[in-house]
Amino acid sequence: MAITLSGDQAIPGPPLSSRLTPAQVWGIVLLAPYLLVFLAFVVYPVCYGLWLARAPANYVALYNDPIFARAAVNTLIFLVIGINIKMLIALFLSGFFAVQRPWIKWLSVIFILPWAVPSIPTILSVRFMLNPEWGMVNHFIFSLTGEDGPNWLNDPTVALSMAIAVHIWKSLPFWTLILITGRLAISNDLFEAAEVDGASWWQKFRYITWPSMQTLYVTCTLLSMIWTLGDFNSVYLLTGGGPADLTHVLATLGIRYLRLDQLSLAMASIVCAMPFVLPLVYFMMKRLSR
């Protein structure tokens, strides 16, 4: 830059402002608001949180807390089983919605509703549907079989499955939409050629659709896994972590510790998730910042 040497003494360059072009000065000014928000509400809280969670005793306490272990297992089930089911359905439905029919066009408009409406009222709606005495589901079961239906949210396995179902209900339209975009990008000529050659639908999927969509599909699955780690609403508003704190996931566990005034445990439980989250985040960033 403008720093020159004279003799053996470095003469300081001109002041910073004149070394930058006016456009660059504006660039810094315009970037400043975001940097301020980032420093005040991301960097500071994260550092503060890590500082709160610094004592090894927290991790011992977590290790000894059966609810933490249960929440970790639940989170894993949620991610590995829930997300894969969701993405497979989304992949399947993206093929369905790609079919050209007027009524399918209308259905696709309706199909997006769960994504368009806020999750709180709909989750609460499902919660009442599953009410053992008054809910619609058990009324329906009773009128069909004459037997009382199960107490849905009182069994941890069923309750967690229901939370996963609610999550799928909410976010399936979004991922289907993305996969439809990917599918529509495939040239129609390929399918027409395959049609002429008499390929079955499985062969068309296996040799045309899947090869061109697999990158997108894997990216979507990973991204959905990262985001689902933070799905607080589906569990908290449906089961509240119950029965007996057996359906917590990591996202709700932090809030549970916070309510019990165990802030350092709340932070420590999040820190424990980081070894799994950070590699995924790193991978996604590599993919998206190309």
Can you tell me which of 237, 241, 245, 247 binds another protein, judged by CB under 8 A? Answer: 237
Q: Binding of another protein at residue 42 (CB under 8 A)?
A: yes
**Which CB atom, from 169 or from 205, has the smaller least distance to another protein?**
169
d(CA 290, CA 222): 17
Q: Dmax of the chain from CA atoms?
A: 101
> What is the DSSP track for 145-163?
HSSPPP-GGGSHHHHHHHH
Q: How far apart are CA 59 and CA 69, in angstroms?
A: 12
Nearer to another protein, 160 or 250 (CB): 250
According to CB under 8 A, which one of 59, 191, 232, 276 is a site residue for another protein? Answer: 232
Q: How far is the CB of 187 from another protein (least distance, A)?
A: 15
Find the DSSP H helices in 6-65.
16-19, 22-38, 44-52, 56-64
**Quick one: 7 or 33, whose CB is closer to another protein?**
33
Helix and strand tally (H, E) in the chain? Answer: 17, 2
Q: What 3-state class would DSSP assign to 65?
A: coil
Subset of residues 52 to 81 that bind another protein, contact rule: CB under 8 A: 52
Rounded to an integer, what distance in angstroms lies between the CA atom of residue 122 and that of residue 166? 9
35 binds another protein (CB under 8 A): yes
What residues between 88 and 147 interact with another protein by CB under 8 A?
93, 96, 99, 101, 103-104, 107, 109-122, 124-126, 128-129, 134-136, 138-140
* 157 is an interface residue for another protein by CB under 8 A: no
Q: What's the min distance (Å) between Cβ of 220 and another protein?
A: 6
Q: In angstroms, give the least distance from the CB of 25 to another protein.
A: 8
Q: Does 2 bind another protein (CB under 8 A)?
A: no
Check if the beta carbon of residue 125 is closer than 8 Å to that of residue 119: no
